[in-house]
């Protein structure tokens, strides 16, 4: 029986929870994330349910990784600004955020990144389109998509903010 | 401090944990213990809060004594003052609750 497998799969940035759910489902089925690359997930056999997986957008920060290690989480890998962690279920529940404020600030980080990349695409797209370059349309399409993502992130944030009015 | 504001549960327990020097994992453990397992501080939340509290000068990072990677933190004078005010505020909330519910 194979002990390792690689799966190629694409997730939109704003669907990071879906990605996390899928990785946890894989772990429930006995495949735990071992390494990660762009749209590429490397799994290794584990006991079903042995691990929990979490992912987070966080700028590269050695101090953070060592902090996480101290709390029993294992750094799996990173793709651009996304970090993947796993933790043995036997070592207790694993989440990265335990209150509404920190969930909101995580969404804020994602939102800022989307607006920055979206803004750049919009600017380049506008310049290219005005100068008659066909590539401009691609940039404008990217910008539209990123703005859609921004809207999705904003929606999640608003829901949390509404909740925060009553409790933390 | 003229204005009064409420600390979040996470902030309250972090400050309370840091009356004595502790590292991150120690804060998580003490918080769970003090709250009887009710309040759980997730690592990402705790890390963000520690940085924010350092920036506010309510806690400080202690220079590591040995070659240990684990960073320890402790309350500052300012942090202690904030914590004392919060305990007074919480007592008012609890006292009022008990008094009014006692009459009901």
Q: Which of B10, B25, B71 sits opposite A99 (nearest CB)?
A: B10
Domain definitions of chain A by residue range: 4-91, 100-164
B70-81 pLDDT, tens per residue?
Answer: 889 999 999 999
> What is the residue whose two structure tokens read 């310049």?
A127
Residue B86 has what pLDDT? 96
Q: Confidence band (pLDDT; 50, 70, 90) for B67?
A: low
Q: Any chain B CB within 8 A of the CB of A148? A: no
For A96, phi and psi rounded to 5 degrees? -95, -30
Question: A68 and B43: CB-CB below 8 Å?
Answer: yes
Cβ contacts of B41 on chain A, cutoff 8 Å: 98
For chain A positions 88-117, those within 8 Å of chain B (CB to CB) are 93, 95-99, 101-102, 105-106
ipTM for the assembly: 0.86
**Average pLDDT for B47-67:** 90
Q: Which of A68, A98, A105 sits opposite B40 (nearest CB)?
A: A98
**Residues B89, B95, B98, B104, CA torsion sign:** negative
A67-120 pLDDT, tens per residue?
Answer: 999 899 999 999 999 999 999 999 888 999 999 999 999 999 999 999 999 999
Structure tokens at A64: 């953070």
SS3 assignment for chain B? CCCCCCCCHHHHHHHHHCCCCEEHHHHHHHHHHHCCCCCCCCHHHHHHHHHHHHHCCCEEEECCCCCCCCCEEEECHHHHHHHHHHHHHHHHHHHHHHHHHHHC
Answer whether B59's CB lies under 8 Å from B20's CB: no
Nearest alpha carbon to residue A29 among A8, A46, A9, A52 = A46
B4-36 pLDDT, tens per residue?
Answer: 689 999 999 999 999 999 999 999 999 999 999
The answer, yes or no, to whether residue B2 has pLDDT greater than 60, is no
Domains of chain B: 9-103 (1.10.10.10)
DSSP state of B79: H
A21-59 pLDDT, tens per residue?
Answer: 999 999 999 999 999 999 999 999 999 999 999 999 998
Structure tokens at A162: 């509404």
Cβ contacts of A64 on chain B, cutoff 8 Å: 47
Q: Confidence band (pLDDT; 50, 70, 90) for A124?
A: very high
Residue A151 has what pLDDT? 96
């Amino acid at each position: 029986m194979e002990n390792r497998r690689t799966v190629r799969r694409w997730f939109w940035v704003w669907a990071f929870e879906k990605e996390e759910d899928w990785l946890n489902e894989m772990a429930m089925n006995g495949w735990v994330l071992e390494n990660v690359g762009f749209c590429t997930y490397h799994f290794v056999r584990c006991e079903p349910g042995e691990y929990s997986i979490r992912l987070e957008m966080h700028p590269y920060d050695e101090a953070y990784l060592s902090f996480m290690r101290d709390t029993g989480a294992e750094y799996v890998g990173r793709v651009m600004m996304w970090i993947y962690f796993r933790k043995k279920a036997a070592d207790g529940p694993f989440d990265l955020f335990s209150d509404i404020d920190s969930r909101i600030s995580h969404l804020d980080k994602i939102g800022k990144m989307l607006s920055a990349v979206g803004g750049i695409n919009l600017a380049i797209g506008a310049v290219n389109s005005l100068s008659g370059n066909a590539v401009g349309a691609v940039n404008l399409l990217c910008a539209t998509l990123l703005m859609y993502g921004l809207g999705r992130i904003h929606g999640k944030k608003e829901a949390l903010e509404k909740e925060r009015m009553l409790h933390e | 401090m003229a204005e009064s504001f409420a600390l979040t549960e996470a902030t309250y327990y972090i400050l309370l944990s840091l009356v004595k020097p502790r590292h991150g994992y120690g804060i998580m453990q003490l918080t769970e213990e003090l709250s009887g397992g009710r309040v759980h501080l997730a690592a990402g939340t705790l890390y963000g809060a520690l940085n924010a509290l350092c920036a506010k000068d309510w806690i400080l990072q202690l220079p590591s004594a040995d070659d240990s990677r684990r960073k320890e933190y402790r309350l500052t004078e300012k942090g202690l003052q904030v914590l004392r005010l919060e305990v007074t505020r919480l007592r008012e909330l609890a006292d009022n609750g008990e008094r009014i519910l006692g009459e009901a």
